[in-house]
Structure 1
Amino acid sequence: MKGTFITFEGGEGAGKTTVLQTIKEKLEQVGYDVIRTREPGGGVIAEKVREIILDPEHTEMDKRTEALLYAAARRQHLVETVLPELEKGTLVLCDRFVDSSLVYQGVARGIGVDEVLQMNLFATAGLMPSLTLLFDLDPKVGLARISGNNGRENNRLDQEKLDFHYRVREAYQSLAKREPERIQTIDAEGDLEQVVQQTWETIAAFLENKK
């Protein structure tokens, strides 16, 4: 691929979506051709699947159904958006990718990391990001941020109990230990300016090393 694929990961309320937009603007200012996308979603069909997955009324959704829907949306997102942009040489910044499924469905839902990984390797044909930024913070802090943000979408994950979100955090931290070169942890407990600065320094160093 001519382009570069960077993903942003983290629990609910970690601030990664806000930081991603700021980083996109900073990268464009220094001359990079950048697109911002998200999962589930990032394309016409994948966005429709997102509506099904995250609908707060779909509380009866089976956990394996949920995992399959995420994988299906991911495949369509890659075909519609990510792969064409990477072929053009674009820097693709994506809000969530495979790691989210490993953590949320594989660990927090209890399906199993290996089972979810195999499902997603089929969906992505093995494509993984070159760099993943993990925005880490205490779930209590993240959920408090969400409750104070009236502009944020309300989805099914917000309805989960606190122990679910702690399992998510622990699973992310475990992934970061397994893949320290790809997954760089960002301390998301600080104010926005601090988090943006740490993120910018991490991405800038990565891009410099790629030259």
Structure 2
Amino acid sequence: MMRGRFISFEGGEGMGKSTQARLLAKHLEEHGINAVLTREPGGTPGAEAIRELLLHPPGEGWEAEAEALLFAAARSDHVARLIEPAVQKGSWVICDRYLDSSRAYQGEAGKLGDAAVRQLHAIGSHGLLPDATIVLRASSDQVAQRLRERDGDETDAIGGRDDSYHLAVNAAFEAFAAEEPGRFHIVDGEGTVGEVHQRVLQAILPILPEQVG
């Protein structure tokens, strides 16, 4: 059986990752490709339990080191129990966030360093990387509007951090894409949902099956 593909969506808060991941999975299914839509942290019962701890932490919350360890633990379970088995069976896994979010949030904005996050990934998930990573980019005004529509007055422990933290996150994704252009594809997230979806398809056209491209 032919191995499937693994595609991740990355970017800061309010970029439209979840929507575009869902649209890509739907597009693949409509063209006869089995697609598995998942998210991080989460995707398996164990990883979803860790997600709740991360986004709604007990007490005073987690220090950066503990946060990184929790993300790595959730990802390890996710890779072992969902991502790798699905890809081995020929499915396309479409993931809303993956390793590069940990690199940006905990490694860069949280100042743990990229090497530490990558080392945790090597131990917990055997260094598995996506075949393609879509980084969505949008203006601050459009992002603010999307966040208001999505969250209202509520936010989680990570999304609610200050502007300097999120600026560091966005800068990190840009840097990752510049360093590894073969895997990363920066996609303009401005405009309608349909317009962005078409840009996503164009970005990953080289790896799409003939019946999809």
The bucket for the TM-score relative to the shorter chain is: over 0.9
What CA distance in whole angstroms lies between the structure 2 residues aligned with 1:38 and 1:94?
5
Report the counterpart of residue 138 of structure 2 in structure 1: 137
Q: Displacement of 1:19 after TM fit?
A: 1.1
Report the counterpart of residue 102 of structure 1 in structure 2: 103
Cα distance change on mapping 1:143 and 1:58 into 2, 3 Å: farther
What CA distance in whole angstroms lies between the structure 2 residues aligned with 1:38 and 1:65?
20
Spell out, residue by residue over 1:61-91, the C-alpha distance to the aligned partner (whole angstroms, 9 max, x if none).
1110000000000000111111110110111
Cα distance change on mapping 1:56 and 1:149 into 2, 3 Å: farther
Does the 8 A contact of 2:8 with 2:130 survive in 1?
A: yes
Spell out, residue by residue over 1:117-164, the C-alpha distance to the aligned partner (whole angstroms, 9 max, x if none).
111111111211110000112345323311222589831122111111
Q: Aligned Cα RMSD in Å?
A: 2.1
Number of matched pairs:
210
* Higher mean C-alpha displacement, 156-165 vs 56-65: 56-65
Does the 8 A contact of 2:4 with 2:89 survive in 1?
A: yes
Q: How does 1:70-109 map onto structure 2 within 5 Å?
A: 70-109=71-110
Report the counterpart of residue 117 of structure 2 in structure 1: 116
Listed as ranges, the gaps of 5+ residues in structure 1 are none
What CA distance in whole angstroms lies between the structure 1 residues aligned with 2:123 and 2:160?
30
Question: Which 4+ residue blocks in structure 1 deviate beyond 3 angstroms?
Answer: 56-59, 138-141, 150-154
Residue 8 (structure 2) pairs with residue 10 (structure 1): no
Q: Secondary structure at the match of 1:172?
A: helix
Cα distance change on mapping 1:150 and 1:61 into 2, 3 Å: closer
What CA distance in whole angstroms lies between the structure 2 residues aligned with 1:189 and 1:63?
32
Q: Which TM-score applies when normalising by structure 1?
A: 0.92
What CA distance in whole angstroms lies between the structure 1 residues aligned with 2:153 and 2:87?
29
Report the counterpart of residue 35 of structure 1 in structure 2: 36
Does the 8 A contact of 1:40 with 1:70 survive in 2?
A: yes
What CA distance in whole angstroms lies between the structure 2 residues aligned with 1:83 and 1:191?
33
Residue type at the aligned position of 1:18: T
Cα distance change on mapping 1:113 and 1:138 into 2, 3 Å: farther
Report the counterpart of residue 55 of structure 2 in structure 1: 54
Cα distance change on mapping 1:122 and 1:139 into 2, 3 Å: farther
What CA distance in whole angstroms lies between the structure 2 residues aligned with 1:28 and 1:153?
33
* Higher mean C-alpha displacement, 188-197 vs 72-81: 188-197
Residue type at the aligned position of 1:165: H
Does the 8 A contact of 2:80 with 2:125 survive in 1?
A: no
Q: Secondary structure at the match of 1:155?
A: coil
Cα distance change on mapping 1:81 and 1:47 into 2, 3 Å: same
Report the counterpart of residue 158 of structure 1 in structure 2: 159
Identity %: 36
